[in-house]
Amino acid sequence: MGDKVMDLLKSKLDKAHLKKLETINNKHVNEFLKKVITLCHPKDVYVCDGSDRDVKDIKDQSLAHGEERKLKWEGHTIHFDGYYDQARDKENTKFLVSENVNFDPNLNQTDRKKGLAELNEIFKGIMKDHTLYVLFFCLGPTDSRFSLPALQITDSTYVAHSEILLYRQGYEQFKKLKGSASADFFRFLHSEGELEGNVSKDIEKRRVYIDVEENIVYSVNTQYGGNTLGLKKLAMRLAINKGYREGWLTEHMFLMGVNGPGKRKGYFTGAFPSLCGKTSTSMLPGETIVGDDIAYLRIIKDKVHAVNVEKGMFGIIDGVNEKDDPILWKVLNRPYEVIFSNVLITEENLPFWKGKDPHIPEKGFNHSGQWYLGKTDSKDNEIPPAHKNARFTVSLDTLENVDENLDNPKGVEVAGIIYGGRDSDTSVPVEESFDWAHGIVTKGAALESETTAATLGKVGIRKFNPMSNLDFLSIPIGAYVEHNLKFGKKVSKPPRIYSVNYFLKDDQGNFLNSKTDKSIWIKWMAWRCHNDVKGIKTPTGIIPLYEDLKDLFKKVLDRNYTQDDYIKQFTVRIPENLAKIERVVNIYKKKVADAPQIIFKLLEEQKKRLLDAQNKMGDYISPLDLPPVDK
């Protein structure tokens, strides 16, 4: 360490914590920490080495500070964010961009110099009464080519405890970096700011700024996990940029194992926008979960492999119930380690959320303080018992269906990639693309999802969301699509690509799929990936044969599947598909600079196939009238 850095650290760290830094021996860690201490003026510094002792100490401090409270079940705690700090702050989440950098104008950004100056002013002295916690994590499995070291600095024990549940400890990983020469790690600085009633007070100064040039995320005056758990979607933005430069993918995808005959297992990734079935698919009964949110994809020996970036789950609890979510239910209602956020605490000191029980308690304590039925806020809005974005944080190893390869340093070989959205009238329940490029363009880059009344107040507005990653991109959309296309070309046999749609409706507005049908669609994909079944070629892809689905419904769900249901679900809807192509083409022409020309080429080819079929067979084509294919 340099003398000035050493003197400053000695003034804030006791010998034990200083020794932990000396053991890592990385000048970039120390210099960043010095910068933070000089700016934020914490009362003291706690360095966590990931040991059981330090982890327990942080959890105990979170309870002592009041950031978490104990609930009835052993291991269960509750954390409350401020009433107006309950979701990702999209408006104030910005990229810091230098003057001479050509950055996508579609991405929320601010001038880097101005943004850093603003942050310096906000962070100045912000931790004067707080302890600064230094934590070391690893994104992806440790000791792996997927490993990305991450340094988290925060004054929130809730953030520290949450990330301990969500991410692999990285202290040993930092020790294995190339000493003081290595600056190849992500940095995260967070402060909850001044507290009032134990929640962040200065919400108007809430900022989440992302510096992809220096691989740093700054977050301040907020406690909500999506703004403060830097290693999650914020780190995802850094990793998308890094992967783009280095030739690998960071995707907003679950990762799961699908069991087949003879103990065979195939692994699938899946990208779904919010409220489209992503978590429920990753948690399907009889299958195994590797991860529910973010995946890194790399090529190893001519095969695409993927890992879960995390080792835990920060999930929406709204609607979780014993019937539909039996595995999660068991964890949330037993003495496991769980952090609940923004649910209701009942008089029995138990968590309550929407969907847990039809009987709503008459009173309790929630994010608004003491709560009772009919309570309203300052704008006369009725306050529900639990926030609709209430969350739970658990470690995946508490789930009985966790996959044995969760921490495999080589990851798992990917058999198929799934894209799913909320679509009431166009896409069939499951369909395979013709090839990698066709799948990336027509199923990934053309992904849309309809809004719901619960999110925006208007139903059926189609939102363009390529690969379900639009909110988290740190590179231009056109470059992102091109990057995906090139990635598949690097292997001789890339994973197959599928689309799913759980929300198809009939003319009366009734869903044509039941909640459990997704088990069938994913089993069919697994069969297709191993060439166990044929398919039917449509103008937009390959769909299942009725006989195969009938067999699967009986074997998996013990249900009879009628030919009438099959025809309704898998009819090719030509006018709706043509309208979608027109919408997507217009977006790429008008809003996406430097969109790869292959997007327009493949969509035009798909349009021609649809028009040819329409001329021959009409607007709506029964799957029984289309020919099967061998491959």
Q: What residues contact 286, with CB distance under 8 A and at least 6 apart?
A: 259, 519, 556
Residue type, 328: L
The Cα–Cα gap between 584 and 447 comes to: 9
Which are the contacts of 353, defined by CB distance < 8 A and separation ≥ 6? 317, 318, 320, 343, 344, 385, 386, 390
Are 84 and 205 contacting, i.e. CB atoms less than 8 angstroms apart?
Answer: no
Distance of CA 457 to the CA centre of its chain: 24
Q: Which residues contact 454 (CB under 8 A, 6 or more apart)?
A: 275, 388
CA pair distance 272, 467, nearest whole angstrom: 8
User: For residues 572 and 619, what is the distance between their CA atoms, to the nearest angstrom?
Assistant: 8
Question: How many CA atoms within 13 Å lie on the side-chain side of 119?
Answer: 27
CA separation for the pair 123, 81 (Å, rounded): 20
For the beta carbon of residue 508, count every other beta carbon within 10 angstroms: 5
- DSSP readout, 424-485? SSSS-SEEE-SSHHHHIIIIIIT-EEE--HHHHS-SS-EEE-GGG-GGG-SS-HHHHHHHHH
Catalytic positions: 276
Q: Which of 306, 252, 309, 301 is nearest to 490 (CA)?
A: 301
Cβ neighbours, 10 Å, residue 97: 20
* HEC sequence for 91-126: CCEEEEECCCCCCCCCCCEEEHHHHHHHHHHHHCCC
Q: Which amino acid is at 152?
A: Q
> Residue written as tokens 């959320």?
353
Measured from the Cβ of residue 74, the count of other Cβ atoms closer than 10 Å reads: 10
Helices (H) and strands (E) in the chain, counts: 19, 36
- Could you give the CA distance from residue 570 to residue 583 in angstroms, rounded to a whole number? 22
The answer to whether the beta carbons of residues 447 and 419 sit under 8 Å apart is yes
Q: How far apart are CA 487 and CA 481, in angstroms?
A: 10
